[in-house]
Amino acid sequence: MTIFAVMCAGLFPLIHMGRPWLAFFVFPYPNQRGSLWVNFRSPLLWDVFAIGTYFTISLVFWYVGLIPDIASVRDRAKGKIRKFIYSLLSLGWDGSNRTWLRYESLCLVLAGLSTPLVLSVHSVVSFDFATSVIPGWHTTIFPPYFVAGAIFSGFAMVLTLLIITRKALNLEHYITLNHLEAMCKVIILTGSMVGLAYGTEFFIAWYSGNEYERFAFINRATGNYAWAYWTMVSCNVIFPQLFWIKAVRRNIPAMFALSIIVNIGMWFERFVIITISLSKDFLPSSWANYSPTFIEVGTLIGSFGLFFTCFILFARVLPVVAMAEVKSVLGFGRKKVQGGAHD
């Protein structure tokens, strides 16, 4: 999911460049323009590195996790073409214990590396806003706030997809209600952290004594876009509190509905941060209301399309559950497991 989402996210800066065929200019490489280098003091360049690294490491980790399972699929595949493709992708994996030993070590290393990457990628993205001077963007709370928001919306989106996937592919015995309930708990925690961040932003806007900052926040809550702000607050902070009730955490339709609400709320968070802050900046003469053109709506819908196409293709051709991992935990090969009961 990360990989497909980053692919979609990567499209927007590309479109934004205006000359997407020159996108390679963002990389520092010796060239005949001087050598004219990229500006290492710009958060936009940090973004190139942060998102590039995040994407690469996620891709490697994803592929490494799939290798033993692709091998398993290869050994069962019928038909020459299928067998050929899975053979290539499985890299000749045969389950040698020497390989397993190194494999586990590799997975540990990659897990250790990708955890700080999650923090860094969202922090660096938030620097794009935080290092600017626009009221409502120029705040030091942004890095932790974006990280909490990312975990929050990430869990909600995974929950949405997981509920559909486990139903569609009959994985209810592997991805159980207990797993989903645990995810709901993470959503309450991170949702409340996001709520705390909203409150802190308001407090600092008042406490800073900066009138532009103060205006930006009063405008958020009571201005032209108050509807967007309050949609965001209710979707991200108020509705997820329903997960305190155990019956809600164990009710799949309720979970699904709430996960969609959180997704909507987090979309509105971006809308609130970007649109409201830009609509009324320092010069009243440049104040304006924003409404999307139909091309902008089209790119939004298109990015959804790209994401779901990739996701559905993935679910169709590759194992969605890490089989080798599940086998080692579920007491595989013992009679008890058949029929789906857990021990």
Partner 1 sequence: MISAPVKKILLGIFDSEKTLLTAAKNFREKGVKFFDIYTPYPVHGLDHAMGLAPSRLPQFTFAAGALGLLVSILLQGYVNLISWPMNIGGKPNNAWPAFVPVCFELTVLFGGVLTFLAFLARCKLFPGKRPVISVPRLTDDRFVIVFATGEKDFKLEETVSLLKQNGAMEIIENEVPA
| Pair 181, 194: CB distance under 8 Å | no
Name which position in 7, 15, 89, 134 contacts partner 1 (CB under 8 A): 89
Is residue 99 part of the contact set for partner 1 (CB under 8 A)?
A: yes
Is residue 340 part of the contact set for partner 1 (CB under 8 A)?
A: no
**DSSP calls for 33-52:** SSSPPP-TT-HHHHHHHHHH
Cα 265 off chain centre by: 14
- Which residue in 315, 332, 314 sits closest to 323, CA to CA? 332
Is residue 20 part of the contact set for partner 1 (CB under 8 A)?
A: no
Is residue 120 part of the contact set for partner 1 (CB under 8 A)?
A: yes
Selected range binding partner 1 among 47-55, 187-195, 228-236, 293-301, rule: CB under 8 A: 47-55
Q: Give the integer Cα–Cα distance in Å for 92 and 68.
A: 10
Name which position in 5, 7, 44, 57 contacts partner 1 (CB under 8 A): 57
Residue labelled with tokens 């008042």? 206
Q: Count of alpha carbons within 13 Å of 34, Cβ hemisphere only?
A: 7
Range 292-331, binding partner 1 (CB under 8 A): 324-325, 327-328
Is residue 78 part of the contact set for partner 1 (CB under 8 A)?
A: no
What is residue 269's DSSP assignment? H
Q: Find the angle CA(305)-CA(255)-CA(111) to the nearest 5 degrees.
A: 70
Name which position in 91, 164, 182, 245 contacts partner 1 (CB under 8 A): 91
Q: Cβ atoms within 10 A of the Cβ of 37, count?
A: 12
The number of residues that bind partner 1 (CB under 8 A) is: 64
332: tokens are 């595989």
Nearer to partner 1, 53 or 299 (CB): 53
Q: How far is the CB of 6 from partner 1 (least distance, A)?
A: 14
Is residue 35 part of the contact set for partner 1 (CB under 8 A)?
A: yes
| Pair 177, 167: CB distance under 8 Å | no
Rule CB under 8 A: which residues touch partner 1?
Answer: 28, 34-41, 43, 45-46, 49-50, 52-53, 56-57, 60-61, 64, 67-68, 71-72, 74-76, 87-89, 91-106, 108-110, 113-114, 116-117, 120, 124, 127, 324-325, 327-328, 332-334
